[in-house]
């Protein structure tokens, strides 16, 4: 399996700090985007913890199936952030939470697995077709939680129904699929998916270009559209 990866996060044009975090770990076939919340300091801490703990937990997980390893890693990450927000001796919990979308690719079999909490998203571009695999944990995404056909125009909202670190236990959304040569996967925060239309995404992902050029184009479009939020994207192209 050959992987080409691009990962970049930008503060945007409005926010004072960047509460997004990204992870690209080709040796594990693991990729992630997290979007923190809970004030300037705590949002940054939560998203960074999400990516770092996810990577360490996925590496150490003992489950044979990649998706089970991924889900276990997300659960361990939730626990870490939850307890970090409730240090001993503190009367009130810190306002600390984050979304996460995590993708795991394997060669034998040629599977892709994902797990997510919140509204950071996973898209796939294959042979002229763009698909959204994740149904946001919001009132708009809820009806599509069990669907394999999530609408590309799924509305964004700041009213999340789930995030890492808020409760001691979390049920991530999850899914699996088979990958094909040339598939391009995009993980992103809502600073990308909320600023760029599906048609614009498809236009960028369809290019005969490097993943660096594709990812840079997506970031540029988000900033040109106003850049009202932190903008983070991971692009992965896979082939055998």
**Which pTM was predicted?**
0.95
Residue ranges making up the domain that contains 215: 2-239
Residue 92 scores a pLDDT above 80: no
**Domain CATH for 145:** 3.60.40.10
* Total number of domains in the chain: 1
**Taking Cα atoms as reference points, which of 234, 240, 223 lies closest to residue 13?**
223
Q: Sorting pLDDT into bands at 50, 70 and 90, what band is 28?
A: very high
Mean pLDDT of 144-160: 92
* 98-134 confidence digits (pLDDT tens): 999 999 999 878 999 999 999 999 999 999 999 999 9
């Amino acid at each position: 399996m050959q992987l080409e990866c691009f990962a970049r996060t930008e503060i945007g044009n409005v926010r004072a700090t960047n509460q997004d975090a990204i992870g690209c770990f080709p040796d594990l076939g693991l990729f992630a985007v997290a979007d923190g919340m809970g004030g300037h300091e705590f949002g940054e801490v939560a998203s960074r913890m999400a990516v770092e703990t996810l990577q360490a937990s996925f590496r150490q997980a003992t489950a044979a199936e990649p998706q089970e390893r991924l889900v276990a890693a997300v659960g361990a990450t939730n626990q870490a952030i939850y307890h970090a927000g409730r240090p001993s001796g503190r009367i009130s919990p810190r306002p600390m939470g984050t979304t996460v979308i995590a993708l795991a690719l394997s060669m034998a079999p040629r599977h892709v697995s994902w797990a997510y909490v919140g509204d950071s998203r996973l898209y796939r571009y294959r042979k002229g077709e763009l698909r959204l695999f994740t149904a946001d944990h919001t009132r708009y995404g809820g009806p599509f939680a069990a669907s394999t056909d999530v609408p590309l125009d799924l509305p964004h909202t700041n009213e999340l129904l789930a995030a890492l670190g808020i409760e001691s236990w979390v049920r991530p959304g999850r899914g699996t699929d088979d990958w094909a040569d040339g598939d391009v996967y995009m993980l992103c925060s809502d600073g990308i998916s909320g600023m760029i239309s599906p048609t614009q995404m498809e236009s960028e992902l369809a290019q005969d270009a490097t993943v660096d050029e594709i990812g840079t184009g997506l970031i540029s479009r988000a900033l040109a559209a106003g850049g009202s939020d932190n903008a983070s994207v991971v692009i992965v192209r896979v082939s055998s």
